[in-house]
Amino acid sequence: MDYIGMNYILYFDYASLIVMVILLVSFCMIKHLDTIQNQILSVMLWGHLCVILMDIVNGLGPQWNIPGIHEILYMTHLIYFMVHNLTIFAFFFYCCCQVDFIFGRRLYIFALSFLPMVISFILMLSNAGNGWIFTVDENLVYRRGPMVLVVYLIAGVYVALSIALISVYRTKLTKLQLLVTYLYLLLCITGVAVQYFLPKLLVESFGMTVAMMLLFFTTAKFSDFYDQNFNVLNRQAFLHIVNSRINWLESSYIICLKVHDMQLYRLTMGKEFQEQLIRKIISYLYTEFPGANVFQYSNSEFVMIPKKKVKEKRISQVLDNIKEKFRETWQVGDNEIRCSFHVARFLYGVNEEISKPGQLREQLDYINNYSKIIENNVIETKDMKIGVAARKLLVQKLLREAVDHDGFEMYYQPIYSVREGKIISAEALIRLKNTDHGFISPEEFIPIAEQNGLIMRIGEFVFRSVCRFIKENNLGKFGIEFVEVNLSVVQCMQEKLHRQLLDIMGEYGVTPEQINLEITETAEATRMDAFQKNVFALTDEGIHFSLDDYGTGYSNINFLYKFPFNIVKIDKSLLWGAFENEKAMITLESSIEMAKRLNLEVVVEGVETEEHIELLKELGCEYLQGYYFSKPIPGKDFLQYVSSMVQA
């Protein structure tokens, strides 16, 4: 076809240009979520602008009498074709984002989808030599080449692919999104068709501009992803961004910070206080890691994702800084508080710890459950290498093996009497014998054993081992008056528990005053009748009880009155807290005072330093337990330790 003397009708292009510029300016001025979909949208906007400009130059150029105009026109035609196809190619990926199509698991499709594009680019780049697509002759006349249709067909391939994708996954789109996507495609097709048959009418870009406008106005609003109150991206935004990045094969670290006791702050200090604290934490996170997006995942959980790939070292540094920062107090209004926390890092990506956005919740729940172990600390990725479900299965398997093949061992931690100046008791603490998987804390495996019922057999092992230990070594000779044994909540709810324990004691000839059972108040929650029956039946036999973990729960006092306890064990967090804030100090003081007035003995756990001992002596605390004296150690070592203490 020949276009000599043709007068292009450019009005549509001028109108398109104005609209496109407005769209682009708005796009740049409005905040957007940092997703691939939005990046593609921006590529499409710039692409369209470029196509329109080229179209205008192509239309006006032949009338310009300037040197090099022939080459300029050749280039603008070429760029027109290339960018035109590129935007349709980009739209195909835009559709992939919309329906959350995961290339990660279908890499070959990803590779294949580039093929038509590559072919069209080769054709266009070789056009200078063969003129297959178009030529611009010495009179500046543009002529279509014999293969120009191929370029249009390739664009058509992406249109068809997009239609197929959208149709297959239409349930993932809202009605409006679906309508706009189809309209976009329809406008593109008709634009191209009209221009093909009526080449004078440069209407194609106008169709595309209208389509672009529709797309622009139906992309998710930033305000849906942003919490104005706290000035932070919300959980929705997190899910969106991670999803989009995983789908596009990106992998990166995420840092998750959990601040403990947020709910407690709200209850005790009020909503305003809690919100102010959250704002402080968020603004700290922004300054700590400016290169990251910060999200509020829940009231007490905050997530950071680096905007660009960063080295592991940078992540470690941020984690260290957070740890350092949380050592300090937070000034909120007139109050200064120190928050306990834990922080973890994960890798997300197709084959990483988090390969679906929902898995973060699982990982966080898992950590939150065991946060006692890792309070005020950083959780290393290596500890979290396997997913939650897999880890649980592994621990279950190890527990089963241990139950069947003598895989547990009892450790003993001495308890020191201030008055007598010697070790008078010990707490029995269970250990899973060294596994290939490193040390597994009872804090992790006891809850799992409670869930799958193994706890009864484990409990029996514990009690049997302790009774044997007392008898075989004649502990009384070492000045050990009794051994503390932990009972799990689930154990206490078994009707026959008291029978089982009494039978075992009978078997080894252990007397009731040689045993002290430790229970926690959480035991109260369910099946109260069985629980009560067990406690009273054992008390009737002369066995004493200790209330464990005092100071970590809520309704201790009530529980304390209800049952005939002899000992209150004050949790280590209360002791450690007393050195950090006045309120914890008052709580510790009054707890010890109250216990004494109720005629209860007090054991304080977590005694690690001379200062701890000084303070506790001053407060008149009678029994001390902690690493200062000894960590939990195997029975043999315990006996040696006690003998050496006696000699010293």
- Positions touching ligand C2E (CB under 6 A) are 413, 428-430, 441-443, 446, 462, 486-488, 548-549, 572, 605-608, 625-627, 632
Min dist CB 272 to ligand C2E, Å, is 35
- Judge contact between 620 and 604, C-beta under 8 A: no
The one of ligand C2E, Ca ion, none whose footprint includes residue 479, by CB under 5 to 8 A per kind, is none
Min dist CB 111 to Ca ion, Å, is 57
Long-range contacts of 437-440 (CB under 8 A, 24+ apart): 437/394, 437/398, 440/395, 440/398
**How many Cβ atoms sit within 10 Å of the Cβ of residue 149?**
13
The nearer residue to ligand C2E, 191 or 632, going by C-beta atoms, is: 632
Min dist CB 588 to Ca ion, Å, is 15
The one of ligand C2E, Ca ion, none whose footprint includes residue 204, by CB under 5 to 8 A per kind, is none
The one of ligand C2E, Ca ion, none whose footprint includes residue 632, by CB under 5 to 8 A per kind, is ligand C2E
Min dist CB 627 to Ca ion, Å, is 14
The one of Ca ion, ligand C2E, none whose footprint includes residue 275, by CB under 5 to 8 A per kind, is none
SS3 readout for 399-425 = HHHHHHCCCEEEEEEEEEECCCCEEEE
CB contact set of 523 (below 8 Å; sequence gap of 6+): 487, 489, 492, 493, 531
The one of Ca ion, ligand C2E, none whose footprint includes residue 123, by CB under 5 to 8 A per kind, is none
The one of ligand C2E, Ca ion, none whose footprint includes residue 100, by CB under 5 to 8 A per kind, is none
Min dist CB 458 to ligand C2E, Å, is 7
| Dist. CA 567–CA 550, nearest whole Å | 10
The one of ligand C2E, Ca ion, none whose footprint includes residue 601, by CB under 5 to 8 A per kind, is none
Min dist CB 601 to ligand C2E, Å, is 16
Angle value at C-alpha 312, between 311 and 317, nearest 5 degrees: 105
The nearer residue to ligand C2E, 276 or 488, going by C-beta atoms, is: 488
| Dist. CA 214–CA 228, nearest whole Å | 27
- Judge contact between 185 and 162, C-beta under 8 A: yes
Min dist CB 507 to ligand C2E, Å, is 19
Min dist CB 575 to ligand C2E, Å, is 9
Min dist CB 547 to ligand C2E, Å, is 11
The one of Ca ion, ligand C2E, none whose footprint includes residue 639, by CB under 5 to 8 A per kind, is none
The nearer residue to Ca ion, 450 or 518, going by C-beta atoms, is: 518
The one of ligand C2E, Ca ion, none whose footprint includes residue 442, by CB under 5 to 8 A per kind, is ligand C2E
Min dist CB 408 to ligand C2E, Å, is 9
The nearer residue to ligand C2E, 61 or 551, going by C-beta atoms, is: 551
**How many Cβ atoms sit within 10 Å of the Cβ of residue 50?**
19
State the sign of the Cα–Cα–Cα–Cα dihedral 127, 130, 134, 137.
positive
The nearer residue to ligand C2E, 225 or 412, going by C-beta atoms, is: 412
79 DSSP assignment: H
Angle value at C-alpha 137, between 135 and 140, nearest 5 degrees: 110
- How many CA atoms lie within 13 Å of 483's alpha carbon, on the beta-carbon side? 31
The nearer residue to ligand C2E, 205 or 491, going by C-beta atoms, is: 491
Q: Which residue is listed with tokens 């402080």?
A: 280
**How many Cβ atoms sit within 10 Å of the Cβ of residue 516?**
23
Min dist CB 527 to ligand C2E, Å, is 16
The residue whose Cβ lies closest to ligand C2E is 626
Reduced to 3 states, what is the DSSP secondary structure of residue 598?
coil
Can you spell out the DSSP letters for 90-142? HHHHHHHHHTT--GGG-HHHHHHHHHHHHHHHHHHHTHHHH-SSEEE-TT--E
Of 218, 220, 188, 223, nearest to 206 (Cα)? 188
The nearer residue to ligand C2E, 207 or 632, going by C-beta atoms, is: 632
Min dist CB 428 to Ca ion, Å, is 9
The nearer residue to ligand C2E, 56 or 446, going by C-beta atoms, is: 446
Of 180, 162, 54, 154, nearest to 99 (Cα)? 162
- Judge contact between 14 and 60, C-beta under 8 A: no
The nearer residue to ligand C2E, 88 or 607, going by C-beta atoms, is: 607
Residues of this chain that interact with Ca ion (CB under 5 A) are 486, 518, 548-549
The nearer residue to Ca ion, 339 or 603, going by C-beta atoms, is: 603
Query: What is the helix, strand, coil percentage profile of the chain, to 5?
Result: 60, 15, 25
For the chain, the maximum distance between any two Cα atoms, rounded to a whole number of angstroms, is 117
Distance (Å) of CA 105 to CA 98, 108, 112, 246: 17, 9, 14, 10
CB contact set of 59 (below 8 Å; sequence gap of 6+): 8, 10, 13, 202
Compute the residue count for the chain: 648
Min dist CB 440 to ligand C2E, Å, is 10
The nearer residue to Ca ion, 169 or 628, going by C-beta atoms, is: 628
The one of Ca ion, ligand C2E, none whose footprint includes residue 192, by CB under 5 to 8 A per kind, is none
The one of ligand C2E, Ca ion, none whose footprint includes residue 443, by CB under 5 to 8 A per kind, is ligand C2E
The nearer residue to Ca ion, 512 or 553, going by C-beta atoms, is: 553
The one of ligand C2E, Ca ion, none whose footprint includes residue 156, by CB under 5 to 8 A per kind, is none
8 DSSP assignment: -
The one of ligand C2E, Ca ion, none whose footprint includes residue 626, by CB under 5 to 8 A per kind, is ligand C2E
| Dist. CA 71–CA 559, nearest whole Å | 90
The nearer residue to ligand C2E, 2 or 443, going by C-beta atoms, is: 443
